[in-house]
Structure 1
């Protein structure tokens, strides 16, 4: 249970850092724990995102979950290489949804507990 909490904290921290470094303002985070899943919802304002940024973000976050990789590398987040961090986040979650409408970036990350 302790490692699960630490991994969730790592996901929250790393994705929030990514948004701040991307130049997002007015970041809102919603963290929900249910019996079978954890959902992290991020909403942030950024008027400078391009379609290329959104495509890359979506692609990296939708990297298939790799529990074997997660077990060994989740503590390595924070190395200032944002694309590798996003890829690692993608390997730690089961589903990601990304939308960007009217300068508002919405990202939902879902991590199944099983």
Structure 2
């Protein structure tokens, strides 16, 4: 069974990878690992997203969590070979908030209840 720590590491790896793919020069990661939840925030100065892409990303990350598939997707999160990294992250988190501005950067906050 995949540990909670490994799932959080996979989430962070995927979000940081997305920042680097957006040509970010600076990526800031903040993790609040509380007893009841873990909150991960990744902010970058990359390309940013237009409104259509931002809406799509928010939709992907706020899909209903499918606990029965969590173990499988948790093993894939953070895999550079995975084409659907955000879909995988969405299966591991309970809430997400994405803000972005084209040419300025992106900030993604995800919350995972324990």
Q: TM-score, normalised by structure 2?
A: 0.86
Q: Which has the higher contact order (CA 8 A, sep 6+)?
A: 2
Structure 1: runs of 5 or more not aligned: none
Task: Give yes or no for the alignment of 1:71 onto 2:71.
Answer: yes
Structure 2 contact 96–109 (Cα < 8 Å) conserved? yes
Q: CA separation in 1, counterparts of 2:50 and 2:91?
A: 24
Change (3 A) 1:67 1:39: same
What do the CA deviations read for 1:38-68 (whole angstroms, capped 9, x no partner)? 0001111124522222122111111111111
Task: Give yes or no for the alignment of 1:52 onto 2:52.
Answer: yes
Misfit runs of 4+, over 6 Å: none
Task: Give yes or no for the alignment of 1:94 onto 2:94.
Answer: yes
Aligned pair count reads 111
Q: CA separation in 1, counterparts of 2:41 and 2:13?
A: 13
Q: CA separation in 2, counterparts of 1:105 and 1:53?
A: 12
Higher share in helix:
1
1:9 aligned residue:
9
Structure 2: runs of 5 or more not aligned: none
Q: Which moved more, 1:88-97 or 1:14-23?
A: 14-23
